[in-house]
Amino acid sequence: MTYELPKAYDFKATEERIYAMWEKNGYFQPHNDPNQPNFDPAVKPFAITIPPPNVTGELHLGHAMFVSVEDLMIRYHRMKGYSTLWIPGTDHAGIATQLMVERQLAKEGSSREAIGREAFLERTWQWKAEKGGQITRQIRRLGASCDWTRERFTLDEGLSKAVREAFVTLYEKGLVYRGPRLINWSPGLKTAVSDLEVEYSEEPGTLYYFKYMLADGSGDYIPVATTRPETILGDTAVAVHPEDERYQKFIGKQVIVPMLGREIPVIADDYVTRDFGTGALKITPGHDPNDYEIGQRHNLPVLSMLDKEARVTEIGGAYAGLERFEARRKLWADMKTAGLVIKEEPYTLNVPRSQRGGEIIEPMISEQWFVKIDPLAEKALAAVKNGDTKIVPDYFEKVYYNWMENITDWCISRQLWWGHRIPVWYCADCGKQTCTREDPSACAHCGSANISQDADVLDTWFSSGLWPFSTLGWPDKTPDFNYFYPTSYMETGYDILFFWVARMMMSGLEFTGQAPFHTIYLHGLIRDEHGQKMSKTKGNVIDPLIVMDELGTDALRFTLLVGSTPGKDTNLSLKKVEANRNFANKLWNAARLVITLLEKAPAEAGQPDEKPTLADAFLLTRLNSLLHDSERLFQTFQYGQAGQNIYDFFWNDFADWYLEIAKLQIATGGARAHQTAALLVRVFDSLLRLLHPFTPFVTEEIYGHLKAAVSQHPAHFAPQDGRWAEALIIARWPEAADRPSDETSLREFAIFQEAVRAIRNLRAEKNVKPGQKLAAILVEGEERRGLYEAEKRNLAALAGLDETRLRIVQTLEEKPAGHIALVAGPLTIYLPLAEMSDPAEEHARLTKDLAEAESQIARLEKLLASDFSAKAPAALVQKEREKLAAYQQSAAKLREQLT
**DSSP H helical ranges for 258-417:** 289-298, 324-337, 374-385, 396-405
Report which residue type is found at 365: I
Residue closer to Zn ion, measured from CB, 196 or 444: 444
Q: Pick from 445, 533, 538, 716: which binds Zn ion (CB under 5 A)?
A: 445
Distance (Å, whole) CA 308 – CA 364: 9
Contact present, 824 and 853 (Cβ < 8 Å): no
Shortest distance (Å) from residue 450 CB to Zn ion: 8
Binding of Zn ion by 430 (CB under 5 A): yes
Residue closer to Zn ion, measured from CB, 448 or 869: 448
Shortest distance (Å) from residue 436 CB to Zn ion: 13
> Within positions 167 to 196, which residues make up the interface with Zn ion, using CB under 5 A?
none
Distance (Å, whole) CA 45 – CA 484: 6
Distance (Å, whole) CA 679 – CA 685: 10
Residue closer to Zn ion, measured from CB, 98 or 434: 434
Binding of Zn ion by 540 (CB under 5 A): no
Distance (Å, whole) CA 339 – CA 331: 12
Report which residue type is found at 727: A
Residue closer to Zn ion, measured from CB, 73 or 427: 427
Residue closer to Zn ion, measured from CB, 130 or 438: 438
Report which residue type is found at 538: K
Write the burial class of residue 249 (CB in 10 Å: 0-12 exposed, 13-18 middle, 19+ buried): exposed
Shortest distance (Å) from residue 435 CB to Zn ion: 13
Shortest distance (Å) from residue 443 CB to Zn ion: 3
Contact code string over 447-476 relative to Zn ion, x by CB under 5 A: -x----------------------------
**DSSP H helical ranges for 713-784:** 743-765
Binding of Zn ion by 442 (CB under 5 A): no
Shortest distance (Å) from residue 433 CB to Zn ion: 9
Residue closer to Zn ion, measured from CB, 445 or 807: 445
Residue closer to Zn ion, measured from CB, 400 or 425: 425
Shortest distance (Å) from residue 448 CB to Zn ion: 4
Stretch that binds Zn ion, among 191-199, 257-265, 430-438, 491-499 (CB under 5 A): 430-438
Contact present, 20 and 138 (Cβ < 8 Å): no
Distance (Å, whole) CA 563 – CA 575: 13
**DSSP H helical ranges for 132-177:** 134-141, 157-172
Contact present, 229 and 333 (Cβ < 8 Å): no
Count residues near Zn ion (CB under 5 A): 7
Residue closer to Zn ion, measured from CB, 440 or 479: 440
Distance (Å, whole) CA 383 – CA 390: 9
Residue closer to Zn ion, measured from CB, 178 or 246: 178
Shortest distance (Å) from residue 444 CB to Zn ion: 8
Shortest distance (Å) from residue 430 CB to Zn ion: 3
Buried b (16+ CB within 10 A) or exposed e, 392-418: beeebbeebeeebeebebbbbbbbbbb
Residue closer to Zn ion, measured from CB, 216 or 429: 429
Contact present, 497 and 457 (Cβ < 8 Å): no
Binding of Zn ion by 446 (CB under 5 A): yes
Contact present, 325 and 231 (Cβ < 8 Å): no
Shortest distance (Å) from residue 423 CB to Zn ion: 16
Shortest distance (Å) from residue 169 CB to Zn ion: 23
Distance (Å, whole) CA 88 – CA 145: 9
Residue closer to Zn ion, measured from CB, 451 or 768: 451
Residue closer to Zn ion, measured from CB, 443 or 673: 443
CA-nearest of 465, 550, 534 to 500 is 465
Shortest distance (Å) from residue 171 CB to Zn ion: 17
Cα dihedral 721, 727, 729, 734, rounded to 10, equals: 10
Distance (Å, whole) CA 165 – CA 162: 5
Write the burial class of residue 308 (CB in 10 Å: 0-12 exposed, 13-18 middle, 19+ buried): middle
> Within positions 400 to 429, which residues make up the interface with Zn ion, using CB under 5 A?
427, 429
Shortest distance (Å) from residue 178 CB to Zn ion: 16
Stretch that binds Zn ion, among 212-220, 443-451, 791-799, 826-834 (CB under 5 A): 443-451
Q: Pick from 142, 380, 443, 587: which binds Zn ion (CB under 5 A)?
A: 443
Residue closer to Zn ion, measured from CB, 297 or 445: 445
Residue closer to Zn ion, measured from CB, 429 or 495: 429
Contact code string over 629-668 relative to Zn ion, x by CB under 5 A: ----------------------------------------
Tell me 655's DSSP state: I
Stretch that binds Zn ion, among 106-114, 445-453, 507-515, 653-661 (CB under 5 A): 445-453
Residue closer to Zn ion, measured from CB, 333 or 428: 428
Stretch that binds Zn ion, among 437-445, 534-542, 571-579, 617-625 (CB under 5 A): 437-445
Residue closer to Zn ion, measured from CB, 101 or 427: 427
Residue closer to Zn ion, measured from CB, 428 or 546: 428
CA-nearest of 287, 291, 285 to 364 is 287
Shortest distance (Å) from residue 483 CB to Zn ion: 44
Shortest distance (Å) from residue 427 CB to Zn ion: 3
Distance (Å, whole) CA 93 – CA 414: 12
> Beta strands 827-831 and 191-193: pairing type?
unpaired
Shortest distance (Å) from residue 434 CB to Zn ion: 8
Binding of Zn ion by 435 (CB under 5 A): no
Shortest distance (Å) from residue 425 CB to Zn ion: 9
What Å distances lie between residue 674 and 10, 598, 709, 802, CA to CA? 31, 8, 15, 26
Stretch that binds Zn ion, among 115-123, 439-447, 645-653, 804-812 (CB under 5 A): 439-447
Shortest distance (Å) from residue 429 CB to Zn ion: 5
Shortest distance (Å) from residue 452 CB to Zn ion: 11
Q: Is 694 left (phi over 0), alpha (psi -120 to 50) or beta?
A: alpha
Return the percent helix, strand and coil in the chain, to nearest 5.
50, 20, 35
- The secondary structure of 859-873, three-state, reads HHHHHHHCCHHHHCC
Question: Length of the chain, please?
Answer: 899
CA-nearest of 848, 868, 872, 870 to 859 is 868
Distance (Å, whole) CA 103 – CA 97: 10
Stretch that binds Zn ion, among 436-444, 617-625, 751-759, 818-826 (CB under 5 A): 436-444
Residue closer to Zn ion, measured from CB, 446 or 872: 446
Q: Which residues bind Zn ion (CB under 5 A)?
A: 427, 429-430, 443, 445-446, 448
